[in-house]
């Protein structure tokens, strides 16, 4: 039975002694998650394809305060392309040489894919608009957003199973609200891939449950990132102005983009609550209430 003091937020959500890996951890939602984990005491390894981006993220965003005795860290490791098994094997071996276990793998690496605009009722013109999409680009989108996620999780299962008792070792997969709506948002390949990503996380939660590793997913709505805004600043951060959200062509009840703090809350909750498995947490500002499947 918990005492009142046991239920203080510093006890509920401390990640001290947790060791985490974030793919795509140098920018966007991966970086938001990295900051949240490190701020609450975790040692966070970040990987991605661009080593200079990872190093800049660690330099600019590593926690400096030691007043709360958390001592979180951000450590670049890589580079790593999650679509290449040899890269994942190399990163796995490097982590096994440094750490006895992983508490969390957060799979945030992803690409946006090609765009096609279905904005006509004329079938001939519609075909012309969409036929130009490249099947190889569809394959690349799926390979990164789905296949890469699968192998990024599978390779680290032994390290995750070795996490100390009481840590509720887990995986968080970043999917998207885009995989849960009928609206193509002009990118059929991305939305189809993200639908597969969310379902993949459900399947992994069922099939990996005997190992003791939980698998959940976050389906973000509009959050500022290098991928969504096509650029980032010298801190690897991007901004999404309110007017950009208003241009989306459908209601966004929150009336704005999501914040780093809101993403952090979702990440920390799924990281710590050992009674949640197989969940897809919608952090979408209410969009799917308006345009859901």
Tokens found for residue 247: 């241009």
**Hey, CA dihedral for 191, 196, 199, 205, is it positive or negative?**
negative
Chain-centre distance for alpha carbon 173: 5
| Token pair 């799926």: residue | 142
In angstroms, the CA 285 to CA 242 distance is: 13
In the Cβ-directed half-sphere of 164, how many Cα atoms lie within 13 Å? 8
Question: Which residues are 73's β-sheet partners?
Answer: 43
Asked about 189 being catalytic, the answer comes back as no
Task: Look up the pTM and report it.
Answer: 0.94
The catalytic position among 101, 142, 176, 194 is 194
pLDDT of residue 195: 97
The catalytic position among 101, 142, 190, 222 is 190
- Per run of 10 residues, the mean pLDDT along the chain (length 293 residues) is 94 96 97 97 97 97 70 95 98 98 97 84 89 92 97 98 91 97 90 97 98 98 83 86 82 93 98 97 95 74
Return the SS3 of 230: coil
Question: Which residues are 292's β-sheet partners?
Answer: 181
Asked about 222 being catalytic, the answer comes back as no
CATH fold of 5-291: Rossmann fold (3.40.50)
Beta-carbon contacts of 173 under 8 Å, excluding residues fewer than 6 positions away, are 106, 107, 149, 153, 197, 198, 200, 201, 204, 215, 216, 217, 218
Asked about 165 being catalytic, the answer comes back as no
pLDDT of residue 69: 60
Q: How far is CA 68 from CA 86, 102, 261, in A?
A: 39, 23, 19
Contact by Cβ (8 Å): 20, 42: yes
Locate the domains of the chain by residue range.
Answer: 5-291
DSSP string for 36-74: HHHHTT-EEEEE-S-HHHHHHHHHHHS----TTS---EE
The catalytic position among 103, 152, 170, 175 is 175
60 φ/ψ sector (left φ>0, alpha ψ -120 to 50, else beta) = alpha
In angstroms, the CA 93 to CA 56 distance is: 24
Phi and psi at residue 147, in whole multiples of 5°?
-60, -45
The secondary element (H helix, E strand) that includes residue 20 is strand 19-23
DSSP string for 146-181: IIHHHHHHHTTHHHHHTSPTTS--EEEEE--GGGGB
Q: Which of 231, 264, 235 is nearest to 60 (CA)?
A: 235
């Amino acid at each position: 039975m918990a005492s009142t003091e046991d239920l203080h937020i510093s006890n509920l959500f401390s990640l001290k002694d947790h060791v985490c890996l974030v793919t795509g951890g140098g920018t966007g939602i991966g970086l938001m998650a990295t900051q949240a984990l490190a701020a609450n005491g975790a040692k966070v390894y970040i990987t991605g394809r661009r080593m200079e981006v990872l190093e800049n993220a660690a330099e600019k965003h590593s926690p400096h305060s030691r007043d709360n005795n958390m001592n979180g860290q951000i450590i670049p490791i890589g580079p790593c392309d999650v679509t290449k098994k040899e890269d994942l094997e190399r990163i796995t071996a490097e982590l096994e040489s440094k750490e006895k276990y992983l508490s969390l793998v957060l799979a945030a690496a992803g690409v946006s894919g090609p765009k096609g605009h279905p904005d006509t009722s004329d079938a001939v013109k519609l075909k012309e608009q969409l036929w130009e999409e490249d099947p190889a680009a569809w394959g690349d989108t799926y390979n990164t957003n789905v296949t890469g996620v699968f192998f990024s999780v599978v390779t680290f299962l032994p390290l995750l199973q070795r996490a100390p008792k009481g840590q509720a070792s887990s995986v968080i997969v970043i999917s998207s609200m885009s995989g849960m709506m009928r609206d193509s948002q002009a990118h059929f390949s991305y939305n189809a891939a993200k639908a597969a990503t969310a379902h993949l996380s459900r399947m992994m939660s069922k099939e990996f449950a005997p190992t003791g590793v939980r698998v959940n997913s976050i389906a973000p709505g509009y959050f500022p990132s290098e991928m969504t805004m096509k650029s980032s600043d010298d801190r690897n951060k991007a901004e999404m102005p309110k007017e950009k959200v208003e241009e989306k062509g459908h209601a966004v009840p929150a009336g704005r983009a999501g914040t780093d703090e809101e993403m952090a809350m979702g990440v920390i909750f799924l990281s710590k609550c050992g009674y949640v498995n197989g969940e897809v947490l919608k952090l979408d500002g209410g969009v799917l209430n308006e345009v859901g499947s």
